[in-house]
Amino acid sequence: MIRVVVVDDHEVVRKGIVAYLQTEDEIDVVGEASGGHEGADLILGTEPDVVLMDLIMDNGSGIDATEKVMKQLPACKIIILTSFYDDNQVFPALEAGAFSYLLKTASASEIADAIKKAANGENVIESKVAGKMMSSFRSGEKKLHEELTERELEVLLSIGEGLTNQEISEKLYIGVKTVKTHVSNVLSKLEVQDRTQAAVYVHKNALFKEND
């Protein structure tokens, strides 16, 4: 049996969810609460496998409750079930340790399915929320060349120009041995195998334009 606690300050919603879950053979609802503070205490006292957690509640937020629970019961799977999916709710909830994120537009069977999946270690992220996560990841993604030092970038651009180690040495006024060290570091940081791939990287990422 999957032991579940439901935390939601809307009594009609909470009672409706509990009533449906009680019809599921694999699920045992071991408690319900109407606020984050009460919910956190209940969860810590009953140690359920899965929690359905609302976010916006009068008596303590779901985010604070999630953070408190995860510090003491890291194995507990918390499913956020809310009407909100704006950035200032989604990311703090996930950072607090929420395992899954569902909107209240989900059907009762979808909620029950998410509970079963959570118990098996499989999370469910509502598509609108997943889209936000991917957008955030892409916007915060660093280019590999941004990890290069200023000198390494100069060496990379020289490789892009097709210069040899000797020519790079003369251009940058550094020893050939030092050039070889920089080239090795550049290849490693760019995760490429050779100078040809490094040159391709330069042109693919338009580094000449970027560094005009």
Question: pLDDT tens digit string along 13-61?
Answer: 999 999 999 999 999 999 999 999 999 999 999 999 999 999 999 899 9
pLDDT digits 0-9 by tens, 96-152? 888 889 999 899 999 999 999 999 999 888 877 766 655 555 444 557 888 889 999
Kindly indicate the confidence band of residue 87, based on its pLDDT and cuts at 50, 70 and 90.
Answer: low
Minimum mean pLDDT among 5-19, 102-116, 193-207: which range?
193-207
Which residue in this structure is represented by tokens 């408690």? 31
| Whether the Cβ atoms of residue 37 and residue 82 lie closer than 8 Å to each other | no
Question: Is the overall model pTM greater than 0.75, yes or no?
Answer: no
Q: What share of the chain is helix, strand, coil (3-state, %, to 5)?
A: 55, 15, 30
In order of their start, the domains of the chain are: 2-140 (3.40.50.2300), 144-210 (1.10.10.10)
Separation CA 115–CA 121 (nearest Å): 10
Query: What pLDDT does residue 146 have?
Result: 81
| Whether the Cβ atoms of residue 100 and residue 124 lie closer than 8 Å to each other | yes
Q: What is the enclosing helix (H) or strand (E) of 101? A: strand 100-103
CA angle 28, 29, 35 (to 5 degrees): 160
Alpha-carbon torsion angle 5, 6, 11, 15, nearest 10: -80
Strands 27-33 and 2-7: parallel
Query: What pLDDT does residue 193 have?
Result: 84
Query: What pLDDT does residue 155 have?
Result: 94
Which of 49, 116, 119, 51 lies closest to 80, judged by CA?
51
Separation CA 160–CA 156 (nearest Å): 6
SS3 103: strand
Q: What average pLDDT does this structure show over 73-101?
A: 86
User: Quick one: tokens of 104?
Assistant: 């209240």
